[in-house]
Amino acid sequence: MTQHTGRCTCGAIQITATGEPKSVGICHCMDCRKHHGAVFYAAATFDPSDVTIKGETAHYKNRHFCPTCGSSVFATSDGEVEIHLGILDEPNQFTPTYELWTDRREDWLPNLANTQKHKRDRSES
Ligand SMILES: [Zn+2]
Ligand SMILES: [Zn+2]
């Protein structure tokens, strides 16, 4: 099985995910942006059983970060682990296929041709 590895800036948190992600997406919602400190959030979603996390994270509302260096590393929701693309050793291996909360998208961001766009959450159009 393919293994995908990642770590926080200081290396105290190390993540390994096995197999292919269930989904890869971008979110422009305010909560995701605040957590990332970036204008959009990008993550690959895995089953918790496919993810191994070494090191102790701290979290705020299930958004986990390294207590030493502050890197935001993953989030948990609805029985899934969302691994942030930016902490992966090879982020380019995953291409987002959808965008959430495009209502909040920055005007200066170029259009991504190959993503399915949702104005808000995936359940809404
Ligand atoms: Zn760290
Ligand atoms: Zn979001």
Ligand 1 centre distance from Cα of residue 49 (Å): 23
* Nearest-angstrom CA–CA distance, 59 and 11: 17
Q: Is pLDDT of 124 > 70?
A: no
Task: Domain 3-117: give its CATH superfamily.
Answer: glutathione-dependent formaldehyde- activating enzyme (gfa) (3.90.1590.10)
Ligand 1 centre distance from Cα of residue 103 (Å): 32
Q: Which ligand is nearest to the CA of 98?
A: 2
pLDDT confidence of residue 125: 53
pLDDT confidence of residue 123: 73
Give, as residue ranges, everything with CB less than 5 Å from ion ligand 1: 8, 10, 12, 66, 68-69
Q: What is the dihedral of CA 22, 30, 98, 90, to 10 degrees?
A: -60
At 10-53, the pLDDT tens digits run 999 999 999 999 999 999 999 999 999 999 999 999 999 999 99
Ligand 2 centre distance from Cα of residue 122 (Å): 10
pLDDT confidence of residue 122: 78
Mean pLDDT of 105-111: 96
**Can you read off the two tokens belonging to residue 92?**
């380019």
Ligand 2 centre distance from Cα of residue 14 (Å): 23
* Nearest-angstrom CA–CA distance, 43 and 27: 9
At 55-104, the pLDDT tens digits run 999 999 999 999 999 999 999 988 999 999 999 999 999 999 999 999 99
Grade residue 5 by pLDDT with cuts at 50, 70 and 90: very high
**Can you read off the two tokens belonging to residue 66?**
């390294």
